[in-house]
Structure 1
Amino acid sequence: MAELNPRTSSVSEGFDKVDENSEIRNLELESLNPVVVVGRSEHLLHSMDALDILRETVRILRFNSIGFMSIMALFICPVSAVILSEFLVDRSKVKNLSISLFTLAKTSGLPTSLFIQQTCQKLAVMIISWVACFPLNITVSLLSKAAVVYSVDCTYSRKKFDWSMFYSTISNLWKTILSTYIWTCMVISGCLVSFIVLFLAAGTSLSVAGFGSGFIIFVALVMGIVFCIVLAMAIVICSMAIVVSVLEEEVSGSQALIESRRVIEGKIRVGVSLFLISTIGMLLIEWLFDHRVKTVSYGDGSSRIWEGPLLVLMYSFVLLIDYMNWAVFYFCCKSPSSLNGGEIGLEEVDEI
């Protein structure tokens, strides 16, 4: 045993010479590993909520802030500026569609109140804006989502984000991602059309049967609540499907939707919470943009020079966090299936 002491001493001296910065960086990378964050115990994974996902997202953003900010500046900010300004929205088409929706609402037995008019107006703006921005959504917006997911994957894989490698990867996967996005659009559009058809059918039937407007409004509210829940769940599955199509080979279209449903099985409540957090943030910024930039409700409006770009940056940042949340959520959901391999890798690091 005494003969081993010199060797043990030399090994310990060698480890003492390891660069401290490298050790710290390794610890930071290990702390960003989804197995470390979520997979220390199965109980911890099942108890994870939306706030835990947000904390992990912020940690990843701090670790690679330059890369994510570059993606936001190049891809997300232009899309945000177009969405908030409604630059591509044709007001005449919005007016015609709003009148058509309001006529359908009256036909179904709803009262012609100001709230119904405003709801039809908002729905018309949303539909026309989505159609007008569709070319932008299937190019720049979809590319930004893929870039964010790829960057999160590089962080967890302990690889540096490389634009040339990203271009090569996305070139091979672009048809897959585009196919998945088309399917997600079909699912969400199908939910919206189905709700409108069922709502009109129910309202017309109740009106013909002689029920009063109060009961019809009550039924409309119940149907609206159910529709919002179903739509939120559909958007969660569709958002995860985009992540699945980027990270998993040969999974696209309807297969990506099925796989995303399997990935988030039992954790749909966390996904809905993430969706609500990002949606509330975006709606708040849209409201501020409407009342502080589009409409001059105070002073001479000179503050719009700096308030407009600031709100665009805020909206872009919320979108960036939203994209990152879904990527982090994917890794957290997939970590149980990779616990064995992940733990082996960590044990090797600990042994070293």
Structure 2
Amino acid sequence: MEALAVRLSGFDPYVDGALRIVTFYDTLMRRRVDLPALARASAGLAECVTGIRLHGTGRVTRVSPHGTEPTAAPAPASSEAPVTLDDEEIGTVWLERPGPAGPLDEVVLDRLAIAVAAAVERYGPARTTMADPALVELAISPDGDEAARARALRLLGFAPGPLVAVAVRSSLPLDRAAALCFPGAAVKAAPLAEVGVVLAAAREALPDTAGLPAGFRAGVGAAGSPERSWREARTALRFTTEREPVVRHAGLGALALLAEVPAAALRDNGDVVAVGRIAAGQEELATLDAYCATGSLRRAAELLHLHHSSVARRLDQIAKVLGFDLADPRGVTRARLALASWRLSRD
């Protein structure tokens, strides 16, 4: 293979340059150099400022062609490439070349990215989010023995202590969804069936839900043992809605007991059947949801951006389908339970 590469390089100067770059980085990796050494060597090779950034720590390394810290302010990157480890983007490398990118800059960045990933894996801090699904499943399994669970948590990088589990459904890649759950924190995540598992040391999850993307849903368990927190997180996930995309199990209270009722029993209930008929009309379902959430006609109208008289007319029609008075506090409680049961029965 080496002999073939030498022959090819004689026909194409680009191939010759690319092979020299590959050999250059192979040598650095064999010598097990660290990130600062990689940045210095790359800046000298490319003859321009070279940068390395790790997303997990925010650490940035910039080096001039002279091997020193650049005195000038950072310039726009002429070219850049992602650094990936275990199929997760953990950082970025770039060149700050004045003018257009050079013909071999892409090769330089490709090999530099590979070398950075190897150095991070060797020396740390890797801070990767995605974890081995088998380890995560062992950590949250209710059937595993405590010794195996403790070993799995240790391999995942968690110190002894309470953990918070979050059950996530989202169109986002799971590592990005995990970052939304615990901004700036070290977490571990893995897909389990159709649900994403996110584990973190005990702390408040999802402090701000205003910027969550459409379709994002998360159920949050209480801090404690991972298997119990995961069970609570899955239950909380079942109560999420478009209006309330994040539900904490601790906030459900007695409502969590509904999740223990078999779905068939829920579907057979007369009130749940009536809510199913109401759900055939999206406007009516949204109105019932808003009214149950607020307990007030006027506040429901504000939530729906409608005049209160329009909401009143809808609620009159909904009450006829339900068969009980929504103006009665007991009727509101009954409607809330029926609406929650209807959603649970569809899982």
What's the TM-score, normalizing by structure 2?
0.18
Quick check: which has more Rg, 1 or 2?
2
Which one scores higher on RCO, CA 8 angstroms, separation ≥ 6? 1
TM-score by length of 1: 0.18
Structure number having the greater strand percentage:
2
